């Protein structure tokens, strides 16, 4: 069975890298927080998909009405008690159905920014309560390769501890802001207690994306084994993996003519602005091609991408504004249609996926 890994980078509209030169960090506390509402919209969207696919129906609302209670005090008390019991039964039934729905609806991994989690701990708990995985997106959305080793370690440890204190369960995964990683960054992430990273984007034409050579690393599914631990001789208890963003790769085919030759062509197909910009029917064709080759597809997006009403950063350059605001009003619909196109795939969290490929 093919697997789709939906991942959400939980940050707000004023924290994106493209707007940093116009929005100072010191101004963050004064900005309008919209991430809670937008994340809830995504959570509800994911919950709704199972009912849309399986055709489940809502619970009937027929209930005993207080207007039917007898006029006598004794009969009224008995009827009122029966009414409360019936209401309680129906509420439990609704909660049970909602619980079953959430267990079978698509699951995602939410990489939560520590700055957001500190201010909205209930949002982090809600993500967990809906059956999704909570992972770290760092604390302040600083680029890993622009921090000192000490500052980066503190960022990793503090964000992990905060999320674990909120949820009460271990945090296994990390995603670097702007996918800015390298070999040294990956080693530090592993040393800080994470079991996987999901920051590698093979699209080389983006200036901030880190480039790492994984050609010599073992793979299990789409997961790349970073550490090579011999459990018979080492005290390490687990292997560290990279879960890369999925892109459309034309390899080993060559496109050649008299003027130039293109080899190993890679197109960005993992989500984000590319998902919003590329027509949906073409994007779905690309996902099908990736699944046919890899059997797995890893998608990413942000809560602000379903928020066309967010404040505008008018002073930003045209290029950055286009990249940020293009088709925000279509993202939720496109995500819904994308999920419905692949109803037979398993929608796993990153930790669940790693568990399936390493079990046994």
Q: What is the DSSP letter of 353?
A: H
DSSP-derived 3-state class of residue 264: strand
Q: What's the pLDDT score for residue 146?
A: 85
Query: Across the strands, what pairs with 135?
Result: 111
Q: What's the pLDDT score for residue 73?
A: 37
pLDDT above 60: residue 87 = no
Instruction: Report angle CA 289, 173, 328 to the nearest 5 degrees.
Output: 55
Convert 273-296 to b/e letters by CB count within 10 Å (16 or more is b). bbbbebebeebbebbeebbeebeb
CA distances from 323 to 209, 276, 314, 318, 338 (A): 16, 9, 13, 9, 21
- When the pLDDT of each residue in the chain is averaged and rounded to a whole number, the result is 83
SS (H, E, C) 182-239: CHHHHHHHHHCCCCEECCCCCCCCCCCCCCCCCCCCCEECCEEECCCCCCCCCCCCCC
Question: Any idea which of 76-80, 102-106, 247-251, 351-355 has the lowest mean pLDDT?
Answer: 76-80
Q: What's the pLDDT score for residue 139?
A: 96
> Higher pLDDT residue, 1 or 333?
333
Instruction: Report angle CA 120, 350, 270 to the nearest 5 degrees.
Output: 90
Average the pLDDT over 121-128 and give the result: 98
Instruction: Decide: 304 and 13 in contact? Cβ < 8 Å.
Output: yes
Residue ranges of domains in the chain, CATH in brackets? 3-52+89-358 (3.20.20.370)
Q: What's the pLDDT score for residue 85?
A: 58
Instruction: Decide: 297 and 2 in contact? Cβ < 8 Å.
Output: yes
Instruction: Decide: 353 and 296 in contact? Cβ < 8 Å.
Output: yes
Instruction: Decide: 300 and 7 in contact? Cβ < 8 Å.
Output: yes
Rounded CA separation 109/298 (Å): 10
Instruction: Report angle CA 335, 264, 274 to the nearest 5 degrees.
Output: 20
Q: What's the pLDDT score for residue 236?
A: 47
pLDDT above 60: residue 72 = no
Chain-centroid distance, C-alpha 203:
19
Residue of 35, 17, 29, 14 whose CA lies nearest to 313: 14
pLDDT above 50: residue 301 = yes
Q: What's the pLDDT score for residue 316?
A: 96
Rounded CA separation 57/94 (Å): 11
Question: Any idea which of 84-88, 107-111, 144-148, 334-338 has the lowest mean pLDDT?
Answer: 84-88
Neighbours of 154 (CB within 10 A): 14
pLDDT above 60: residue 279 = yes
Beta 196-197 vs 173-174: how paired, if at all?
parallel
For residue 263, what are its two tokens? 């080899």
pLDDT above 70: residue 196 = yes
Instruction: Report angle CA 231, 236, 241 to the nearest 5 degrees.
Output: 90
How many residues are recorded in the chain? 360
pLDDT above 60: residue 55 = no
**pLDDT exceeding 90 applies to what percent of the chain?**
65
Question: Any idea which of 14-18, 162-166, 238-242 has the lowest mean pLDDT?
Answer: 238-242
**pLDDT exceeding 70 applies to what percent of the chain?**
76
pTM score of the predicted model: 0.82
Neighbours of 164 (CB within 10 A): 15
pLDDT band for position 182 (cuts 50, 70, 90): confident
Rounded CA separation 53/101 (Å): 11
Question: Any idea which of 40-54, 248-262, 268-282, 346-360 has the lowest mean pLDDT?
Answer: 248-262
DSSP-derived 3-state class of residue 40: helix
DSSP string for 55-124: T--PPP-----GGGS-SSHHHHHHHHHHHHHHHHHHHHHHHHHHHHHHHHS--EEEEE-HHHHHH-HHHH
Average the pLDDT over 267-289 and give the result: 95
Rounded CA separation 200/180 (Å): 8
pLDDT above 60: residue 360 = no
């Amino acid at each position: 069975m093919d697997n789709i890994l939906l991942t959400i980078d939980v940050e707000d509209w004023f924290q994106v890298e493209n707007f940093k030169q116009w929005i100072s960090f010191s101004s963050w506390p004064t900005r309008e927080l919209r991430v809670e509402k937008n994340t809830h919209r995504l959570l509800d969207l994911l919950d709704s998909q199972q009912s849309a696919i399986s055709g489940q129906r809502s619970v009937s609302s027929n209930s005993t009405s207080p207007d039917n209670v007898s006029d006598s005090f004794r009969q009224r008390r008995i009827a009122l008690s029966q009414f409360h019991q019936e209401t309680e039964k129906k509420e439990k039934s609704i909660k049970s159905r909602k619980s079953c729905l959430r267990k079978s609806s698509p699951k995602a991994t939410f990489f939560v920014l520590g700055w957001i989690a500190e201010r909205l701990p209930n949002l982090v708990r809600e993500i967990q309560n809906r059956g999704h995985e909570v992972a770290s997106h760092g604390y302040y959305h600083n680029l890993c390769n622009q921090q000192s080793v000490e500052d980066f370690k503190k960022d990793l440890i503090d964000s992990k501890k905060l999320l674990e204190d909120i949820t009460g369960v271990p945090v296994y995964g990390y995603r670097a802001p702007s996918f800015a990683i390298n070999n040294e960054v990956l080693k530090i992430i592993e040393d800080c207690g994470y079991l996987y990273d999901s920051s590698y984007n093979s699209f080389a034409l983006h200036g901030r994306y880190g480039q790492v050579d994984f050609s010599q690393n073992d793979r299990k599914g789409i997961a790349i084994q970073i550490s090579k631990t011999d459990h018979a001789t080492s005290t390490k208890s687990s292997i560290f993996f990279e879960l890369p963003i999925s892109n459309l790769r034309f390899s080993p085919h060559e496109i050649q003519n008299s003027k130039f030759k293109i080899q190993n062509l890679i197109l960005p197909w993992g989500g984000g602005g590319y998902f919003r910009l590329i027509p949906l029917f073409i994007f779905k064709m690309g996902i099908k091609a990736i699944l046919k080759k890899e059997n797995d597809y890893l998608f990413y997006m942000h809560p602000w991408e379903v928020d066309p009403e967010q404040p505008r950063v008018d002073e930003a350059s045209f290029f950055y504004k286009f990249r940020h605001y293009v088709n925000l009003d279509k993202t939720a619909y496109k995500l819904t249609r994308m999920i419905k196109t692949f109803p037979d795939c398993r929608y796993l969290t990153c930790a669940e996926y790693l568990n399936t490929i390493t079990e046994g």
